Structure 1
Amino acid sequence: MTRLLVVAAPTIDLPGGGGKPRPGGPTIYAGCAGALLGCEALASGPVGLEHAGPVVEAHRRLGVRLEPIYYPGPSFVFRLTYEERGRRAELAAAPRGGSIPLTLLASLLSRARPDVVVFSPVAFEVPPPAVPLALLSGARVVAVDPQGYSRVLGGAWPSALARGGYTFIHYSADDAQPAGSVPGLVYYTRGAEEGAVMLNGAKLGVIPRPRRVLSDPTGAGDAFTAAVACCLAGGGDVVECAREAVSIVPEALEEAHRAAEEASRALGLLPPPPVEPVGAAEGVKHLPGHEVY
């Protein structure tokens, strides 16, 4: 059985239009996609003690084994707004802690011995030097979704990954600012529109539009990343893996949203207290313990 490890922060999502708070983030959506594909799904990342119960319960309901790294205060909290051009996520709160220490990540990789690693920071929690450690630990496929690096660095986010050490990068029009030519294998998705598979800037193939578009697309990019990574680990073709990933995303999102909402109801998740929005790099770097890469 392929062992998938997702390294990212579980989040609390506040959907627009009156939606109720629920656990979310890459560990839930990527983990769920991996589990649906028959992988053993593991996850780890910072969890605020204020939201630990619903976060842990949602992962349990999905069969994703979460190893939380507890911090004081809230988890990462995002306000989600759905617009004609796609989804916008606004960071509203964060744990009182900085990046995950590299020594802790190295220990996690050594213990988990994953075949596939997905790094998908939502802000600043995964230090870029962690990426090459995954290949050194024996992982066959290492995927990076740079959404968090984009929130901190804007269009300069590729500089965070200059060390390489990844099999592919996936970034979407919703979550990462457009960048110039990104070296290596890149999957670029555009929500309900066609995307592209590129190698060193040259187009290899098309990522088809999803056949079924959900009203709530939260987590689609994370599910897609994990599905592509698991497919590649099984020896799949780089373009065909993108097509297979698109087909599984709706099922993964429906399952993950259901589990998150059930966990919230079961454990009585309440909205966090109102806080001032935290913007791009200028706002984020003032969070305690944060380092701008």
Structure 2
Amino acid sequence: MRINKYGLKDTIEAGIKREIRQRCGFGCVNCGNAVYQYEHVDPTFAEATEHNPDHIVLLCGGCHDRVTRKLLSKETIKIRSDSPVCKQKGFSFGPFDLGMVEPKITIGTLNCKGVESLIRINGDNVLSIKPPESEGAPFRINAYLADRDGREVLKIVDNEWITTTNNWDVEVVGTRITIRKALGDIVLSLRSEPPHNLVIERLEMEHLGIELSCRENKNLKVITPSGQILTSNSMDIEGSKVGFDINNNSMSIGVGGGCVHIGSMTLDSIPPNIPQRHTRQTFVGRARENRKVGRNEICPCRSGKKFKKCCGLVY
């Protein structure tokens, strides 16, 4: 921790950091790179008596180094501060480091390796992996991730992630990206583990009528417009063409060969014209059991709420 001559510590409060990120468009004000650091511009940190968000900008390591070497002037950064590149373009961006070995992608409790399209919703590849373009090149991840209202929050195009400045907050700390819809409302959290792993720790999204949510080491949940609910707390898919193929009225797992291991999975639905009862099928390995869940019973998703106030609300 640094402390300047006025006793100001270089630790910036979370609320002030968020204000800076929002003003700068979640990326370097000069080039748009979303891997950034906080930089006092006018005055510099050495002369600052407070952390004023209007006088602090986001700078990537490359642009910060250019300023230090006087290859990029402070005056230019001040101008960029008034008109950040991210705000001009409407997005910030950053690279993922993937190697030449097939990566493993984890979505909550779903682990996929050697799967061409991990999640396909009504024909759209939400998350997919392409082979290297040439020998010695990396595998390529592509994704379209939205919030629970179906609005895009982040996309990945051949390992480069891009996030819109319309987001409420985008925070990058180390290898973790966190996107919030409001204070305390996380709609996406993911981290990279270079060079072979990408982990989606948390997701709350809707796409073409399909709801998808997950938590790392907890349940992965899919809800279709027809009322089907798939919940899994352990699943591995390897070598399939499509991991999850989800349509309005159907769901398929491990399409096009490969190997699927289901540790635990439940399929829920409400029979037509019987809204007060709920039919559940539970799969644990090869075991299967059928039982009914009443509206006033504790929800099987382990939220602690009554079913009618939890998963039952989708109906």
Question: Counting helix residues as a fraction of each chain, which structure ranks higher?
Answer: 1
Could you state the TM-score of these two structures normalised by the residue count of structure 1?
Answer: 0.27
Larger radius of gyration: 2
- Higher relative CO (CA 8 A, sep ≥ 6), structure 1 or 2? 1
